[in-house]
Chain A
Amino acid sequence: MNRHAGQPYLLCAPALALYGVMLATPLVMTALLSFNSYSDTQGVLLTWSLHNYASVLTDEYYQAIFLRTLIVAAATTAFCVVIGVPEAWFLSRLRPRWRGLALLVVLGPLLVSVVVRTLGWTILLGRDGLINQALTGLHLASSPIDLLFTDTGMVIALVHVLIPFMVLAVWTALGGVDPATENAAVSLGSSQVTVFFRVVVPQIVPGILSGGLIVFSLAASAFATPALIGGRRLKVAATAIYDEFLVSLDWPLGASIACLLVIAVIAIMLLLSRVAERRTQMAELADAEA
């Protein structure tokens, strides 16, 4: 077999060439660009310092943008967990015939352009949109509520865009749950609610975690939905990067925001998975002692 030892690498060569040139190089260049500086008259200057990072981190304008990005992403993740986990469980218990159709409804939107899905929410969330018509019609609200161009509207649309990832991750994890454990709990007198929280959820924590991490990272770096729902004034990190690159043309500053976004997302994801890991370990220890 030694004769073929190099063969896998040969087979991987086209993919490695494509990704080396078109993925690794641009990312490294963005990191380098963030240390350069920009002049209105001469464009990008090849100086090397951290001044872009300093100006982003000390400017209240950018601090507010990063804070909003973080809050919107955290809220989106929380809602995706609260809605997506039970939904995946219900899905897994549908009759096979209905399950196929239900999966098509849940996962199909993933294939529809984010722009189209967000357009739907701009129509629904507007001041004379269907949601406000229903709220005022049912006398739940005396005057239309502002949803479009607000953080709330952004979270609603992002939950819609990203929840399929949550359902999918939990759905996959549910595949590994032995239905006998549920049946055992019911036969011992547990209610369905107890079964869900005490038997099913503890077994699918890794699925919830990986779904949550995907949703969080996609929500924190989302561009189209915040741009269309937030309008020109309500900025998040991704739309701020867009502004620096394509409107004010200060590429080095934009690159530093991009690097900070990546660093922040990775840091939060690592932190979250650490915390979750420790909690599972502690729960296992508690179980072992009991």
Chain B
Amino acid sequence: MRRNGPFALAFHAAFVVFMLAPLVVVFLVAFTPEGYLSLPLHGVSLRWFRAIGDNPDFIASFWLSIRLGLCAATLATAAILPAALAIGRRQFALRQAILVFVMSPLMVPAVVLGVGLLRFLSLFGIQGTFTGLALCHAVVIGPYVLRMVLAAVDGLDANLDRAAVSLGATRLRAFWRVTVPGLLAGIAAGWMLAFISSFDELTVTVFVSSPQVTPLALRLFTHIAETTDPLVASVSAIIMGLTLVLLLLLDRLYGVDRLFSGTRA
């Protein structure tokens, strides 16, 4: 295996700086004692973290995003898990078509899906409701669940299932006692990735939310578009902290490299 030379390492270092700079900057600015976004810092203060407490809008949006993520990720997993098993284990005529169909939210521009859902949900009068938003998010994050579960199904030997049946287990019992435990890490990783994606989703959310139902990403976006005070930085710092915790958890559970490339679509 060949090693990287000094140029390669310098390039890589510059790349890492480029990737981390905007995140580090937001994190640092969150600790500013000033009333505006400024760097370098003159002193450190938790003023803007305390300010979050005075903004019930942000706190309400945070809890809404958590509930939304829980509902949407669970809904998506429940709807897609059986399909993933069928696609991963069985050969049937429309297999490839169904796979492409469920993966397609990754390919359709989110803004186009957003306006379509706005039109569709407003006809049924559920535009701007929590239910409507959860359904929209479930569709947008579904591909991540499918991808993770498919990768897990691929990695699980189908013979284990057959062995259980040949030893006298019913198909249902073999499914619950053999297949599901074997897929659990993949299902959990898919669910978590879906939750994070729902938490971060903005482009579809912009169209299908309402002033009463505003998830955190959208609240942050609207706030930044109007004014940029360090409050958005402190909220972002907290979001990054939570994301980092989930990311490390996912890495332990599944491995980041497999997390993003474990696809066969």
Which residue numbers of A lie inside 8 Å of B, CB to CB? 5, 7-9, 11-19, 22-27, 29-30, 33, 83, 86-87, 90-91, 93-94, 100, 102-124, 126, 128-130, 133, 157, 160, 163-164, 168, 171-172, 179, 182-183, 186, 192, 217, 220-221, 223-224, 227-228, 237-238, 241-242, 245-246, 251, 254-255, 258-259, 261-262, 265
Contact = CB atoms under 8 A, between A and B. Distances in A.
B112 A261 contact: yes
A262 B146 CA distance: 24
B1 A221 contact: no
A228 B240 contact: no
A110 B16 CA distance: 14
Nearest to A117: B22
Contacts of B236: 113, 115-116, 119
Nearest to B7: A192
Interface in B81-116: 82-83, 85-87, 90, 92, 94-95, 98, 101-102, 104-105, 107-113, 115-116
A90 B2 contact: no
Greatest chain B CB density within 10 A among A5, A23, A33, A105 is at A23
Contacts of B225: 227-228
B259 interface: yes
24 contacts: A9-B86, A9-B92, A11-B82, A13-B82, A15-B79, A15-B98, A18-B75, A19-B104, A22-B135, A22-B139, A25-B120, A29-B120, A90-B8, A103-B257, A104-B247, A115-B200, A119-B220, A119-B228, A160-B19, A221-B109, A237-B111, A246-B206, A246-B207, A262-B109
B15 A223 contact: no
A9 B83 CA distance: 8
Given A23-B104, A228-B225, A7 B112 contact: no
Contacts of A13: 82
A146 B233 CA distance: 22
B202 interface: yes
B239 A112 contact: yes
Given A86-B11, A238-B203, A14 B78 contact: yes
B39 A108 contact: no
Interface residues of B, number: 91
B187 interface: no
Contacts of A30: 112, 115-116, 119
Contact of B19 (A7, A109, A111, A168): A109
Tell me which of B110, B115, B139 has the highest count of chain A C-beta atoms within 10 A of its own C-beta.
B115
A242 B221 CA distance: 14
B136 interface: yes
A188 to B, nearest CB: 14
B1 A26 contact: no
Interface of B: 1-5, 8-9, 11-12, 15-16, 18-26, 29, 37-39, 75-76, 78-80, 82-83, 85-87, 90, 92, 94-95, 98, 101-102, 104-105, 107-113, 115-120, 135-136, 138-139, 142, 146, 193, 196, 199-200, 202-203, 206-207, 217, 220-221, 224-225, 228, 232-233, 236, 239-240, 243-244, 246-247, 251, 256-257, 259-261
A147 B93 CA distance: 53
Contact of B111 (A116, A182, A192, A223): A223
Given A22-B136, A24-B101, A119-B232, 19 more contacts: A7-B86, A9-B86, A13-B82, A15-B83, A16-B83, A18-B75, A18-B142, A112-B23, A113-B199, A113-B202, A114-B200, A115-B220, A115-B236, A123-B22, A123-B26, A172-B261, A223-B203, A238-B203, A258-B109
Contacts of A8: 86-87, 90, 92, 95
Contacts of B260: 107, 110, 164, 168
A168 B263 CA distance: 12
Given A9-B94, A23-B104, A112-B239, A123 B39 contact: yes
Contacts of B142: 15, 18-19
Contacts of A221: 109-112
A183 B90 contact: no
B12 A27 contact: no
Contact of B259 (A26, A107, A120, A217): A107
Contacts of A130: 25, 39
B256 A108 contact: yes
Contact of B25 (A93, A120, A223): A120
